Structure 1
């Protein structure tokens, strides 16, 4: 297939957020995208970028489809279907592309060819899940605010059998040492969460929604400096459930140390702090000091966030 390089001259800058992925039977990948600026044409060469300076490679737009119309020659930001464009790429990129990353008409510089802190976290999870070398992963645009980059560089999701096991990347130092404390990497922790699968009406939607919540909670640390440690509770300030449909009784979290433990990163220690979903009445008990987070964690021994509890 021939492609058109629209990166130079008078052509406008074009960019689309990858919101989900679909693998076709022939091994090709279709990306569900929101075109946020410019225009994507069939035959264009675009660049896949992760927005944090680790990945940038060219892909060819093999086809574009939009709801109720089907295949189209182009789709532009601001059009009715710009939020629901299905973009098929010609290259075999399964395992190399992730939701929350970008397609754009200009390349970005690869700044970080190595990420020792990132790799240290991944190695700990690969020991727990040795058959999952390519877990589901969501980039920094898998955010609770539409089209806004979240504070985390990424979130990986491992299949724990009865649950999905989430881990964040971005609250510790991933690429280089910066904070001057050799004992602690970044803020000294990353967040994890185990979401129980049983009872989920739309697992894919709930996984993405948890990623959004983790971005929001990480923002509490990045914006306010709050240090999450085991033995705390977090009231999310709402009475409706934290699931995507707001139907569950889960309205907040307690924290404990993830059973994977503490990561020994080249940049210092990274404690894995696990969030466990709790009910409004349990939040009130902890506020009134009739129960502690540690006591509740003993009751919720499996450590799962269970929307049907």
Structure 2
């Protein structure tokens, strides 16, 4: 088999970048020891191109989420995970190498996908629980994903490959995306964030009055597109009948997620849409209803809240350790517990609540 034949996936990515940058020779960073042989980097390579419009930046593309060589997966429609990531990072005029933190971050995305099996799609977001560049004085603590505007999906012999651009976002931008829509928030900030270039020094888009107003209008008009929220701290204890009384059921949430759930109650249940909270071993489906009640199984709880209960809970949940009772639903207690934020080594770096 020819060399060209066994690099068909790799060649498809290179062809797309050549279409944009012509004969420019990218800065390429390959992996010395393959991941399957014990190497620490799951992606086979990263290529960084110098771009000047709309402002100087590095346009970095990954090689490794899709099938770069021969077809191995059984899915004929998609190549590997079906995407590659791109990342546009602000570049100084005299800069000759892309920042190492950006390359490391992309490899970390590879570890996340390869280890968890979770894949990214346009409209997704990911909380980094800290600066996306470790140790940097930056407000960018999360990531959003959209289709790279210059790189439409391609159909290769190994299947379809989409190019997802990764964008550094602030904590309040992340909250806005959760309570409205990732792509809608990015569109609202398009003029203020040309090219969706990640610049560690930028301020939040919500500090711009016109952008903030557009986002608030969208939230009120549309509600939230987030129907599924993964939460680390989630537990359910069913109510118990006693001789002369009944103890209420207890739903436990982490303090970090409490304000997000509060906003989503308004953006989902009060718009007539359900919200699913999920941990590794439990799903709690919050659904609008004419009266409160619940149905509990071993792995899933369906919790109905009428408009009054949803409204009260959305106003009450705060990022602090406390017991929340709903005046209109005596059969339920929300227990908010402390959230401990940990670094990559498992050390607690901050506590919420």
Q: TM-score per shorter chain, which class?
A: 0.5 to 0.7
Structure 1 residue corresponding to 2:40, chosen from 123, 127, 149: 149
* Compared CA separation, residues 199 and 277, structure 1 to 2 (3 A): farther
Structure 1 residue corresponding to 2:15, chosen from 120, 123, 147: 123
Q: Contact 1:183 / 1:268 at 8 angstroms: preserved in 2? A: yes
Structure 2 residue corresponding to 1:305, chosen from 194, 198, 204: 198
Deviates more, 1:191-200 or 1:296-305: 191-200
Could you say which structure has the greater relative contact order, defined with CA pairs below 8 angstroms and 6 or more residues apart?
1
Counterpart Cα distance in 2 of 1:142 and 1:178: 20
Counterpart Cα distance in 1 of 2:93 and 2:139: 13
Counterpart check, 1:277 vs 2:132: no
Structure 2 residue matching 1:185: 3-state secondary structure: strand
Q: Contact 1:199 / 1:308 at 8 angstroms: preserved in 2? A: no
In structure 1, the residue matched to 2:138 is: 248
Structure 2 residue matching 1:302: 3-state secondary structure: helix
Counterpart check, 1:170 vs 2:59: no
- Runs of 4+ in structure 1 displaced over 3 angstroms? 111-114
In structure 1, the residue matched to 2:90 is: 196
In structure 1, the residue matched to 2:51 is: 160
Counterpart Cα distance in 1 of 2:200 and 2:134: 10
Structure 1 residue matching 2:111: 3-state secondary structure: helix
Cα deviation, residue 149, structure 1: 2.3
Residue deviations 1:245-297, cap 9 Å, x none?
5112111111100121112221011000110110122123334x1x3211222
Q: Which runs of 5+ in 2 are unaligned?
A: 203-353
Give the TM-score, by structure 2 length.
Answer: 0.50
Q: Kindly report which structure 2 residues correspond to 1:197-216, keeping only aligned pairs within 5 A, or say none.
A: 197-198=91-92, 204=97, 207-216=99-108
Counterpart check, 1:182 vs 2:73: no
Give the TM-score, by structure 1 length.
Answer: 0.56
Structure 1 residue matching 2:101: 3-state secondary structure: helix
Counterpart check, 1:296 vs 2:190: no
Counterpart Cα distance in 1 of 2:145 and 2:32: 25
Two-structure CA RMSD over aligned residues (Å): 2.7
Q: Which runs of 5+ in 1 are unaligned?
A: 1-110
Structure 1 residue matching 2:148: 3-state secondary structure: strand
Q: Contact 1:221 / 1:227 at 8 angstroms: preserved in 2? A: yes
Q: Contact 1:262 / 1:269 at 8 angstroms: preserved in 2? A: yes
Counterpart check, 1:222 vs 2:111: no
Cα deviation, residue 229, structure 1: 0.5
Cα deviation, residue 237, structure 1: 1.6
Structure 2 residue matching 1:261: 3-state secondary structure: coil
Counterpart Cα distance in 2 of 1:203 and 1:242: 22
Counterpart Cα distance in 1 of 2:70 and 2:18: 22
Q: Contact 2:176 / 2:185 at 8 angstroms: preserved in 1? A: no
Residue deviations 1:166-214, cap 9 Å, x none?
11001100111011111110010011111122599x774x522111100
Larger Rg: 2
* Compared CA separation, residues 163 and 269, structure 1 to 2 (3 A): same
